[in-house]
């Protein structure tokens, strides 16, 4: 098992290197100079050149990359050009918030999808089924940021139940922090539950038609036992794959949701850094998200056997 994990992680190293090089090159291709952005309009050429030298931006590109990479291997991702903060700390802070929102939302969405999809499949073509499928299909079609805006308008402004702006860190007040996160979590939960519900329903329908379910019923097991112990674990497996893909993708940044709700999450950090040409932060963030993506995929693959014992981790 441990060997398998190690082998998987090692295999991803070339990809991580490629990602790093690609990011490094692409962001330097974007026109714009971070030193100029820092000094503002009206700065003279000498100051700009001086600042570029301070930031190490006047060195040849390969030298810059190797230097960054060497430090990254030792765990030092450098300092933000804009704020001077260590990139590693910056990423972890912002990731903490994004992870909180994403994990809670995806967990809730999975719970909703698992229950709704299973029930809809069990009571196929009934009113319940139609309602579930209808809701899931509509939810799939609504842009997440629009939903967020509408919810914000309704609950934040018109009704005033929930705060409109910003974010209070947990270290200050957990209760208040939770309040600020309610709307983003709700928005994300609704958005993600659509596709998960449909997947769960589809695989539940498949499993319900299998022989051993009929056998279980014939053996005299209660319907509830049949559903929870026979149907659900096997029907859940494909949905779990989708959950994994979703998590990997969302943890990489929910920039749009964070913009709507003005949350200082990882997605916003990445977008803001690109717009400010903060090279170390962008490079660090992308390396980080690539690693997260790999780890989440690995975890999902490892969890698979829990639900489908026929599948063993190769």
The first and second tokens of residue 23, run together, are 């990011």
SS3 79: strand
Q: Tell me how far, at minimum, the Cβ of 129 lies from other proteins, in Å.
A: 9
Among 138, 214, 311, 313, binds other proteins (CB under 8 A): 138
Bridge partners, residue 86, by sequence: 79
Structure tokens at 11: 């295999």
Among the candidate windows 2-10, 61-69, 70-78, 94-102, which touches other proteins by CB under 8 A? 94-102
Query: Is 270 a residue that touches other proteins (CB under 8 A)?
Result: yes
- For residue 104, the surrounding DSSP H or E stretch is helix 87-122
**Range in contact with other proteins (rule: CB under 8 A) among 2-10, 12-20, 56-64, 70-78:** 12-20
Minimum gap (Å) between residue 33 Cβ and other proteins: 6
Residues 6+ apart with CB under 8 A from 151: 183, 186, 187
- Please identify which residue in 118, 196, 198, 207 interacts with other proteins, judged by CB under 8 A: 198
Minimum CB distance to other proteins smaller for 6 or for 134: 134
Q: Is 39 in the site for other proteins (CB under 8 A)?
A: yes
- Which parts of 103-122 interact with other proteins (CB under 8 A)? 103-104, 107, 111
Is residue 300 within 8 Å of 241, Cβ to Cβ?
yes
Expressed in percent and rounded to 5, the helix, strand and coil fractions of the chain are 75, 0, 25
- How is 28-48 classified by DSSP, letter by letter? HHSS--HHHHHH-TT--HHHH
Does residue 167 bind other proteins (CB under 8 A)?
yes
Is 65 among the residues that bind other proteins (CB under 8 A)?
Answer: no
Is 24 an interacting residue with respect to other proteins (CB under 8 A)? Answer: no
In angstroms, give the least distance from the CB of 290 to other proteins: 4
* Contact indicator for 229, 292 with CB cutoff of 8 Å: no
Tell whether residue 215 is a contact of other proteins (CB under 8 A): no
> Smallest distance from the beta carbon of 63 to other proteins, in angstroms?
22
Long-range residue pairs from 166-169, CB within 8 A, at least 24 positions apart, any chain = 166/262, 166/263, 167/97, 167/262, 167/263, 167/264
Q: Which is closer to other proteins, CB of 68 or CB of 232? A: 232
Give min distance, CB of 10 to other proteins, in A: 14
Interatomic CA distance for residues 25 and 40, integer angstroms: 25
Choices 1-9, 57-65, 68-76, 169-177; region in contact with other proteins by CB under 8 A: 169-177
Is 165 a residue that touches other proteins (CB under 8 A)? yes
Minimum distance from residue 16 beta carbon to other proteins (Å): 8
C-beta separation of 179 from 164 below 8 A: no
- Does 52 interact with other proteins (rule: CB under 8 A)? no
What are the tokens at 196? 């998960």
Cα–Cα distance measured from residue 185 to residue 193, given in angstroms and rounded to the nearest whole number? 12
Q: Contacting other proteins (CB under 8 A), which of 169, 213, 217, 295?
A: 169
């Amino acid at each position: 098992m441990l060997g398998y994990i190690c082998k998987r992680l090692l295999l991803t190293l070339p990809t991580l290197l490629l990602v790093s090089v690609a990011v490094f090159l692409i962001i330097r291709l974007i026109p714009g100079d971070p030193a100029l952005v820092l000094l503002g309009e009206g700065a003279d050429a000498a100051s700009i050149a001086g600042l570029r030298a301070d930031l190490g931006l006047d060195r040849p590109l390969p030298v810059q990359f190797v230097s960054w990479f060497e430090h990254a291997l030792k765990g030092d991702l450098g300092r933000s050009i804009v704020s001077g903060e260590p990139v590693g700390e910056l990423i972890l802070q912002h990731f903490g918030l994004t992870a909180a929102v994403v994990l809670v939302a995806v967990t809730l969405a999975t719970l909703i999808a698992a229950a709704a999809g299973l029930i809809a499949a069990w009571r196929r073509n009934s009113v319940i089924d139609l309602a579930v499928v209808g809701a899931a299909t509509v939810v799939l079609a609504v842009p997440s940021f629009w939903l967020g805006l509408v919810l914000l308008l309704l609950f934040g402004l018109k009704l005033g139940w929930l705060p409109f702006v910003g974010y209070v860190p947990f270290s200050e007040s957990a209760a208040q922090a939770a309040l600020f996160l309610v709307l983003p979590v709700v928005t994300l939960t609704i958005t993600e539950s659509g596709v998960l519900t449909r997947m769960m329903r589809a695989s539940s329908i498949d499993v319900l038609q299998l022989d051993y379910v009929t056998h279980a019923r014939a053996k005299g097991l209660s319907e509830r036992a049949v559903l929870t112990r026979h149907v659900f674990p096997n029907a859940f497996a494909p949905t779990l794959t989708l959950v994994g893909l979703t998590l990997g993708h969302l943890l990489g940044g929910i920039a749009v949701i964070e913009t709507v709700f003005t949350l200082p999450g990882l997605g916003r950090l990445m977008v803001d850094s690109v717009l400010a040409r903060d090279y170390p932060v962008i490079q660090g963030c992308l390396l980080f998200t690539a690693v997260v993506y790999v780890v989440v995929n690995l975890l999902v693959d490892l969890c698979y056997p829990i639900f489908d014992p026929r599948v063993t981790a190769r």
